[in-house]
Structure 1
């Protein structure tokens, strides 16, 4: 049995009120503002932590896209469980895989594989996403010793973790070499020196233990440093390529369940003698949310595979995933909430899970870096990418658009702090050149995006150094936002082209990719036009078919064996 099938079978039918892992139990834990204990015990038995440990270290992390699909199953049932049990350790651990030495990596694997948690200790409220201004200090003490002083107020699993990855200042000098990450085990700290700060109350992720820590001249062995002193920014920017891609992609499980909830509602509720779900306006809205999920998954899955196949080029792509996927999911859930109406606010009952999902999804828009911070990461790279990649078409490497193809191990040592080139944009140009003129609307849309890339190139090459800095012209960030839309279009188009080798599949049909490019073109134009019936019809039919068969709504179309089927 595959990992996803195994997990879904363990979770069981979420709408069964007698299921101890179902929606009713998830909502009860949320009302108590507690982690879902029965869910955690199940994930302990499943050994979820092994998913965050590379195969070479004894775990099951064979590919970022595989990890995303596994964690998407957890987020599909309870986002707080997904973050509080699993993703928080993933966020911390990638820094050790990217920057730690042999002994540190071996010890982290031992901790995770024994079921313990690792906390990512980055944020300070005074500085938000500006890690270069972090005040938490690691100063020299006695020979071979560092003294930790400061506080971190926003830490997932501050108390529940066995170890911490702490972003710390190790120099008063300005610039990017003034901080170091530390891999600190709590048992190694002198008794009584670590103080926990009160948990923050939050509207979403209420079960996640979000607190803080405080230390005052607490001695630790200097060997806790991840890499050389002053390397924190480099290690973080490399590891962000996995977390900024992975976490938003995992949360697409929330949108899957949101769609499933509204489909269920559409069957149950009748208006003027027919089910609400049969109304044309509802069907169009559901089709559009389905397309939004596919758009987000195209970009996320492509970049997750690119981390393996094109690791020197994925820095900008990862930030684009964080910006596009989280924003698109949040907007789609808001639209689905409109279809549910008053039911979208109910905290109990058949559809009570929806309001929790919507609240829990909101943090996906910021996490370790707000969406606008991700745009700011991409912006200074645009002129270089425009010069190197935005004029000549390029064929994708084998396997990039084939989720079933094997991948090499994650090349942590090849990840870069800035993208060397932009092969995804170049692949858009190659696809545009290969499109037959008889493709009608789709051909015109592809040419529209190729033309947009040319306009972006002209604008990017005209940016001044002051435009690329924090506090520069806001229009420059808008340029970056438009670039992320083009990237999303490129991945949708190339995945559709790759699917032509399987012509009988839904993903080989031009309907969904035409709808996707229409949705994305509307973002470029600042318009919001409903899908025409000729596209919405077959897309809704696919959605309804997957719902009836108990299959996932993402690119995988995988069987979810214990989800309830359509009752019609």
Structure 2
């Protein structure tokens, strides 16, 4: 099964008669329900098989394939994407990385039977600060006794099982918590109580609930890994989901751009189409450039899971942070095209307001943007002193989105600090000897990014211990922010260097223009170059939409 086959199964999203089209998606959102027909279609496709390694009967072998399939669902309905699938992925990766053979077989059997596994990590009092989680499990002979609450958990009432994060030691630090695989049928009645549903403004169809445990007996074989290993397991596992997520959220932006293009072509103002206005064309072109930057960056990160797994402790949070920022900004920019229609819950463009509400929680769920930067900060001084401007480029295959990959090797993921940064190494090689005033705009972008890297290296090398924690100064957070933009620009440059003949030059210039704009300073393109690039990008976006093709780098045909 492929993403194209899933698209065919879901059908034309714009057909009002389609039970999983936009009209049906919006109706389910108004009811605050999951799209039942969508869940049935994903059952038929056996979407859960995408989350199960091949060794256990599933299809999980390549991270880029997983992301492409999930992007197909999220392009249709982010609530369906999270509520049906992504929540089970977040939970199950902890089992694949650390669980024993029996736990893996149980999880695989449950998922392959279209079941659900909830990730019961969150507590309202502590948010993403898992080290202070209070839900506790105490040793009790051969097993454990569990007491406490978990809140804002996707599908916890509907799930047959959950991966639960609990305190198992009294002290502070990273060795005081553990993870457990719990199956509802194995817990005694009365020891677990479901809390009321938490309603939300975005992802309204997702069933957000909570559970409360009261002296609940837990079998000893429910423990994932060793006691006190909970945070370590999460940090390794989340490198997968925080790499897949940035690629997945390209899907909602693709649909939002289609809505903006349709509105600009259909709506009449000042005696002509909205698309006749230069400002509107520029907004659409820039949002399209943002999508292409996200797609190229996330493609490199997904391939790094296979080819550079030792670097994922840096690459995964960097991708999570920057793509979320780009996504939110692009949606706000596109509101200028739709105007008041961007808030309407009825009519041909009503899908935009749903997508805008849905992507907001998607960008901070699992880890907030500030938490992603905090994860990066301690690693930047070491890379600045030992790697940047010194390391060689990563293997060229890292930068070919269509290239072959070895099977995903979860045991190579590490929570340690990476020693090398091969993506930045690619930038160093591409910009070697290029003067800042080169006549070629691509070479000018490379020189600009190299110069930004030099400043970034000096700033990060000077960071002290006080600037490597949640209490870091705003200036330290700004350095981490700039690193993500440089990393993304290096990825884009290297992708085009490796296989740019497949992609339009305007896409490269647009993506680099948007990313260097996030670094500050004067623009790299002249006014005439930018105007020409944006004209070509707008025309490309319109052509892709009218031809029924995706707006991402694949340009794959979809039902229409």
Task: Report the TM-score when normalising by structure 1.
Answer: 0.95
Distance in structure 2 (CA, Å) of the matches to 1:482 and 1:388: 19
Name the counterpart of 2:54: 55
User: What does residue 167 of structure 1 align with?
Assistant: 165
Q: Secondary structure at the match of 1:555?
A: coil
Match of 1:115 in 2: 114
Tell me what 1:470 maps to.
Answer: 470
Mapping of residues 121-520 of structure 1, within 5 Å: 121-141=120-140, 143-420=141-418, 421-433=420-432, 439-500=439-500, 503=501, 505-507=502-504, 509=505, 511-520=506-515
Q: Against the structure 1 CA distance between its residues 458 and 82, is the aligned structure 2 distance closer, same or farther, given a 3 Å change threshold?
A: same
* SS, match of residue 119 in structure 2: strand
* Residue segments in structure 2 that go unaligned for 5+ positions in a row: none
Q: What's the secondary structure of 2:393's corresponding residue?
A: coil
For 2:37 and 2:111, the matched residues in 1 are separated by: 19
CA contact (8 A) 1:65 1:301 kept: yes
SS at structure 2 position matched to 1:91: helix
User: How far has the Cα of 1:34 moved from its partner?
Assistant: 0.5
Aligned residues of 2:503 and 2:553 also touching (Cα < 8 A)? no
The answer to whether the 8 Å contact 1:506/1:542 transfers is: no
Structure 1: distance between partners of 2:148 and 2:281: 54
Are the equivalent residues in 1 in contact too, given 2:438–2:444 (CA < 8 A)?
Answer: no
The alpha-carbon deviation at position 295 of structure 1 amounts to 0.8
Shift of 1:192: 2.4
Distance 2:267 2:190 in 1: 58
- The whole-number CA distance in structure 2 between the counterparts of 1:277 and 1:9 is 30
Find runs of 4+ consecutive structure 1 residues off by over 3 angstroms.
Answer: 434-439, 526-531
Q: Report if the CA contact (8 A) 1:119-1:164 is conserved.
A: yes
Q: Equivalents in 2 of 1:22, 1:329: separation in Å?
A: 23
CA contact (8 A) 1:157 1:208 kept: yes
- Cα deviation digits, residues 137-188 of structure 1 (max 9, x gap): 11011x2110111001110001010110011100002211000011111111
SS in 2 for 1:554: coil
In the other structure, the counterpart of 2:75 is: 76
Residue 41 of structure 1: aligned partner:
40
- For residues 485 and 132 of structure 2, the distance between their equivalents in structure 1, rounded to whole angstroms, comes to 31
Q: Residue 196 of structure 2 contacts residue 209 of structure 2 at CA under 8 Å; is this kept in 1?
A: yes
The worse-fitting range, judged by mean Cα deviation, of 444-453 and 418-427 is 418-427
Deviation of 1:78 (Å): 0.6
Instruction: Provide the residue aligned with 2:31 in structure 1.
Output: 32
Deviations 1:87-114 (A, max 9, x none): 0001111111111111111111111001
Instruction: Give secondary structure in 1 for the equivalent of 2:149.
Output: strand
Conservation of the 8 A alpha-carbon contact between 1:123 and 1:368: no
CA distance in 1, matches of 2:360, 2:522: 24
Please list the CA deviations of residues 251-303 of structure 1 after superposition, one character each: whole Å capped at 9, or x if unmatched. Answer: 21100000001111122112233221232221111110010011111111111
CA distance in 2 between counterparts of 1:114 and 1:522 reads 48
Distance of aligned partners of 1:38 and 1:206 in 2 relative to their CA distance in 1, 3 Å threshold: same
What secondary structure is seen at the aligned counterpart in 2 of 1:314?
helix
In 2: Cα distance, 1:103 partner to 1:278 partner: 62
Q: From 520, 525, 535, give the equivalent of 1:525.
A: 520
- Contact 2:28–2:205 under 8 Å retained in 1: yes
RMSD after superposition:
1.7
Conserved 8 A contact 1:388-1:422: no
Q: Hey, what's the Cα distance between the residues in 1 that align with 2:252 and 2:522?
A: 26
8 Å contact kept, 1:246–1:304: yes
Q: Deviations over 1:13-59 (max 9, x none)?
A: 21211111111111110001000001001110110000111112111
Q: Any unmatched runs of 5+ in structure 1?
A: 564-568
Question: How many Å apart are 1:423 and its aligned residue?
Answer: 1.2
**Inter-partner Cα distance in structure 2 for 1:386 and 1:283:** 40
Asked whether the equivalents of residues 17 and 23 of structure 1 are also in contact (C-alpha less than 8 Å), the reply is yes
| Separation (CA, whole Å) in 1 of partners of 2:132 and 2:260 | 44
Q: Aligned pair count? A: 555
Q: State the distance in 2 between where 1:444 and 1:419 align.
A: 32
In structure 2, what is the Cα distance between the partners aligned to 1:409 and 1:398?
Answer: 18
Counterpart CA distance in 2 for 1:473 and 1:273 is: 52
> Structure 1 CA distance, aligned partners of 2:391 and 2:440?
22
Q: CA deviation at 1:438?
A: 5.5
Residue 549 of structure 1: how far off its partner (Å): 1.3
Q: Write the deviation string for residues 100-142 of structure 1: whole angstroms up to 9, x where unpaired.
A: 111111111111001000000111111111111011111011x
Give the Å deviation of 1:399. 2.1
Alpha-carbon contact 2:306-2:408 (below 8 Å) kept: yes
1:566 matched residue in structure 2: none
CA contact (8 A) 1:313 1:418 kept: no
> How far off is 1:384 after superposition?
1.1
